């Protein structure tokens, strides 16, 4: 199964991708997670990506396309994958199509998580993420079992630096300009499934799973 999660910042792409990854035993590939890890480790990639991320801008296409191209070659991708946060521009979508053409594979579904903007703001402002494995929690909607501690790995929960108010509005603007056109792109290919995501996490998950 090869899936793409589309949706605005804070729509719940990562949350649903993690649940799908656990249920279907296929990797969740999040370009945001990969980039944040690189920033944390201070690698060359991280140093390059940081200023873009902290200002709510997209990291240049050639950089993220390279990341995904490498990652899709890993052994664990043989039975499928879930892309979370990629593609995010038409150039990235074209690049993905070319990669898949080369290995004679195709995408099964593109899930577009639709969430109202006021709900998005609530989700982002209350998000806390695990410092080690990046699992997302929420101070009201998705509490960890133990306060401040990740259920999956015991890591510390922190607020992402790009979840500050000014950065959030920039991310939403960039989303509308650069990423929203992908909705049409995938609709025209008959791959898009719209998921009304103004609901609780498990309801959304059920809706997504009903397509598999
Ligand atoms: P990235 O990490 O991908 O951020 P994003 O797209 O802005 O999306 P988020 O991770 O903020 O939201 P999400 O949809 O995953 O929501 P989540 O499940 O956490 O990218 C960050 C940056 O990296 C970009 O700005 C860019 O600079 C760079 N980058 C990454 N990919 C790139 C690319 N392809 N090209 C160029 N640059 C790239 O949920 C949010 C919160 O809501 C959580 O607290 C969660 O617990 C809660 N929640 C989830 N679902 C529900 C629900 N149903 N009800 C209530 N609360 C919920
Ligand atoms: Mg995410
Ligand atoms: Zn963790």
Instruction: Tell me if 27 CB under 6 Å of ligand 1.
Output: no
Closest CA to 179 of 112, 102, 129, 79: 112
Instruction: Tell me if 58 CB under 6 Å of ligand 1.
Output: yes
Determine the distance separating the centroid of ligand 1 and the alpha carbon of 32, expressed in angstroms. Answer: 8
- Threshold 0.75, pTM exceeds: yes
Determine the distance separating the centroid of ligand 1 and the alpha carbon of 14, expressed in angstroms. Answer: 6
What is the per-residue pLDDT for 95? Answer: 98
Rounded CA gap, 76 and 126, in Å?
33
What is the per-residue pLDDT for 166? Answer: 87
Give the CATH architecture of domain 2-27+74-117+168-209. Answer: 3-Layer(aba) Sandwich (3.40)
Q: What is the mean pLDDT of each run of 10 residues along the chain (212 residues)?
A: 97 97 97 97 96 97 97 95 98 97 94 97 95 95 96 96 92 97 98 97 98 92
Determine the distance separating the centroid of ligand 3 and the alpha carbon of 51, expressed in angstroms. Answer: 25
Determine the distance separating the centroid of ligand 1 and the alpha carbon of 198, expressed in angstroms. Answer: 15
Annotated catalytic residue within 13, 19, 28, 71: 13
Active-site residue, 123 included? no
Active-site residue, 50 included? no
**Residue list, CB under 5 A from ion ligand 2:** 14
pLDDT tens-place string over residues 97-148: 999 999 889 999 999 999 999 999 999 999 999 999 999 999 999 999 999 9
Instruction: Tell me if 207 CB under 6 Å of ligand 1.
Output: no
What is the per-residue pLDDT for 204? Answer: 98
With b for 16 or more beta-carbon neighbours within 10 A and e for fewer, the 76-96 pattern comes to: ebeebbbbbbbbbbeebbebb
Active-site residue, 156 included? no
Rounded CA gap, 128 and 53, in Å?
17
């Amino acid at each position: 199964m090869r899936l793409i999660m589309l949706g605005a910042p804070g729509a719940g792409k990562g949350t649903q991708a993690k649940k799908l990854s656990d249920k279907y035993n296929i990797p969740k590939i999040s370009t945001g997670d990969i980039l944040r890890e690189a920033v944390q480790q201070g690698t060359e990639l991280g140093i390059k990506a940081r200023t873009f991320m902290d200002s709510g801008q997209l990291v240049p296409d050639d950089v993220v396309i390279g990341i995904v191209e490498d990652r899709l070659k890993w052994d664990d991708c043989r039975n499928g994958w879930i892309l979370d946060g990629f593609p995010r521009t038409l150039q990235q979508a074209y690049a993905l199509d070319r990669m898949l053409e080369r290995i004679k594979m195709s995408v099964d579904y593109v899930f577009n998580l639709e969430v109202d903007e006021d709900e998005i703001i609530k989700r982002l402002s209350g998000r806390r993420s695990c410092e080690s494995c990046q699992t997302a929690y929420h101070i009201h909607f998705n509490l960890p079992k133990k306060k401040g501690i990740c259920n999956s790995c015991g890591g510390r929960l922190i607020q992402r630096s790009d979840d500050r108010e000014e950065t959030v509005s920039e991310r939403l603007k960039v989303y509308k300009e650069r990423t929203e056109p992908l909705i049409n792109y995938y609709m025209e290919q008959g791959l898009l499934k719209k998921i009304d995501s103004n609901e609780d996490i498990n309801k959304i998950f059920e809706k997504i799973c009903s397509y598999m």
